[in-house]
Amino acid sequence: MNVMLIEDDAETAAFIQRSLTEHSWNITWCANPRDGILKLGGGHYDCVILDRMLPEMDGIAVVRLLRGAGIDTPVLMLTARGGLDDRVEGLEAGADDYLGKPFAIAELVARLRAVARRRPMVVEETSYTLADLRVDRVGRKASRNGTTLDLSPLEFKLLDFLLAHTGEVVTRTMLLEKVWGYSFDPKTSLVQTHMSRLRAKVDKPFKTELIRTVRGSGYSIGNP
């Protein structure tokens, strides 16, 4: 995967570069947003890691410029933690996802994968099938091996989100943001509790486990 990294802080950039190279990704680092935009226009990149605070040009402006120039490379924006406005602004400008600094590399990797795989204009799925699991998104029903699963609305949403990211790692904060819609990190083990309840219904009564815990990262469904 070709990743463009636009980040002015050399230490952060070096850290990201080294960590992502371990995943055999090809990282191009630009400390200057102008170089980054020029390179993005000229080459093929799967996604961009864009810092929100850049010299000369704001990250938001960079996204606007890219989108305005018809460059639709997925953008993951790095924002300050806890900032409510930053994220909304970033998404409105055309970024695909955001991540508060500081972050865990596992979180960055998971989000980059999700962002890079996202294809625009994908027709919304009406159902998912994974091994013997069937999920009817219209009727909001799930069954495994013909047995209907008795899921709460929240558990259904969780399963639905996991299936939308089949084969990808879904982190705890991704779930909090996308399934719960929370902009904060609760102290309590909210995600863990609901995931274990979901797994008790989806996996426990059956022979094969579909949902896996990815140590230090989050959860995944299906083979990565």
Partner 1 sequence: MATLSTISRSTVFQRVIASCAIFVTLSLAVIWTVGPLRIAQIEATEQQIIDDILESVPFIRNDGGEAGLIAAYRWDDNRDVWTDEDIFVILEDEDTLLAYRDADENITAGFDGLWASDEPTETELDHPEIDRPVIAKGIWLEDGSSVIAGRFVPERVFNIQSFVGISSIALIVIVMPLALLTGFFLSRGVFQRLETLWETAETVSKGSLDARAPLTGSGDEFDRLGAGINQMLDKVEALTRNVEAVSVGVAHDLKTPLANIGGRLELIRRDIDNPIAVAEHVDIAEARLQSLLRIFDALLRMGEIETGKRRAAFQAVNLSALCDDIAESFAPLFEEADKSLKVAVAPNLTVQGDSDLLTQLIANLLENALEHSRDAAQAHIALHGTDGMICLEIGDDGPGIAPGAAERIFERFFRADASRSTAGNGLGLSLVKAIADLHQADIALLEGRTGAVFALRFQPDSGSYKIV
Residues that bind partner 1 (CB under 8 A): 80-85, 100, 102, 104, 152-154, 180-190, 193-194, 197, 216
Sheet holding 133-136, edge to edge: 127-130, 133-136, 141-144, 147-149
Query: How far apart, in whole angstroms, are the C-alpha atoms of residue 100 and residue 96?
Result: 14
Instruction: Give the residue with the Cβ less far from partner 1, 101 or 131.
Output: 101
Q: How far is the CB of 37 from partner 1 (least distance, A)?
A: 30
Instruction: Give the residue with the Cβ less far from partner 1, 141 or 197.
Output: 197
Instruction: Give the residue with the Cβ less far from partner 1, 73 or 171.
Output: 171
Instruction: Give the residue with the Cβ less far from partner 1, 22 or 122.
Output: 22
Q: How far is the CB of 4 from partner 1 (least distance, A)?
A: 27
Token pair belonging to 13: 């950039």
Q: How far is the CB of 172 from partner 1 (least distance, A)?
A: 10
Cis peptide before 102 (omega within 30 of 0): yes
Instruction: Give the residue with the Cβ less far from partner 1, 6 or 159.
Output: 159
Dihedral sign for Cα 69, 70, 73, 74, please: positive
Token pair belonging to 170: 């879904």
Residue 180, amino acid: W
Query: How far apart, in whole angstroms, are the C-alpha atoms of residue 177 and residue 111?
Result: 12
CA neighbor of 6 nearest in space, from 68, 73, 69, 70: 73
DSSP 147: E
Query: How far apart, in whole angstroms, are the C-alpha atoms of residue 211 and residue 39?
Result: 39
Instruction: Give the residue with the Cβ less far from partner 1, 128 or 172.
Output: 172
Q: How far is the CB of 187 from partner 1 (least distance, A)?
A: 5
Residue 200, amino acid: A
Query: How far apart, in whole angstroms, are the C-alpha atoms of residue 54 and residue 57?
Result: 6
